[in-house]
Structure 1
Amino acid sequence: MLIATRFAFVAIVASGILAIPALGEVKTFKSPLTPKAPYSGATRAGNLIFVGGIIGLESNGKKLVPGGITAEAKAAFNHVITMVKRAGGKRSDIAKCTVLLSDIDYFPDMNEVFTSYFPASPPTRSTIVVPAIPMNAAIEVECTAIL
Structure 2
Amino acid sequence: MTIKRYGAEGGQGTGGQHLPFSRAVEAGGWLRVSGQTPMRDGEVVEGGIIEQSRIAIENCTLIMAEAGYGLADVTHVTVVLTDARYFQSFNKVFKEVFGEHPPARICMVADLVVDCKVEVDVTCYKAP
Shorter-chain TM-score range: 0.7 to 0.9
1:28 aligns with 2:2: no
Gaps of 5+ in 1: 1-23
Which structure has the larger Rg? 1
- Identical positions, percent: 28
CA contact under 8 A between 1:101 and 1:138: conserved in structure 2?
A: yes
Amino acid at match of 1:94: V
1:114 corresponds to which of 94, 110, 114: 94
SS in 1 for 2:47: coil
How far did 1:64 drift? 1.5
How far did 1:110 drift? 0.5
SS in 2 for 1:135: coil
CA contact under 8 A between 1:26 and 1:45: conserved in structure 2?
A: yes
How far did 1:117 drift? 0.4
User: How large is the RMSD of aligned CA atoms in angstroms?
Assistant: 1.6
SS in 2 for 1:121: coil
Instruction: Give distance in 2, aligned partners of 1:135 and 1:25.
Output: 36
- TM-score computed with the length of structure 2 as normaliser: 0.87
Q: What does 1:68-83 align with in structure 2 at a 5 Å threshold?
A: 68-83=48-63
CA contact under 8 A between 1:43 and 1:87: conserved in structure 2?
A: no
State how many pairs are aligned: 120
Q: What does 1:1-147 align with in structure 2 at a 5 Å threshold?
A: 24-30=1-7, 34=11, 36-58=18-40, 60-61=41-42, 63-130=43-110, 132-147=111-126
How far did 1:123 drift? 0.5
- TM-score computed with the length of structure 1 as normaliser: 0.77
Amino acid at match of 2:50: T
Amino acid at match of 1:57: M
Instruction: Give distance in 1, aligned partners of 2:2 and 2:69.
Output: 15
Name the structure, 1 or 2, with higher relative contact order (CA <8 Å, separation 6+): 2
Question: Higher helix fraction: Structure 1 or Structure 2?
Answer: 2
Instruction: Give distance in 2, aligned partners of 1:105 and 1:111.
Output: 11
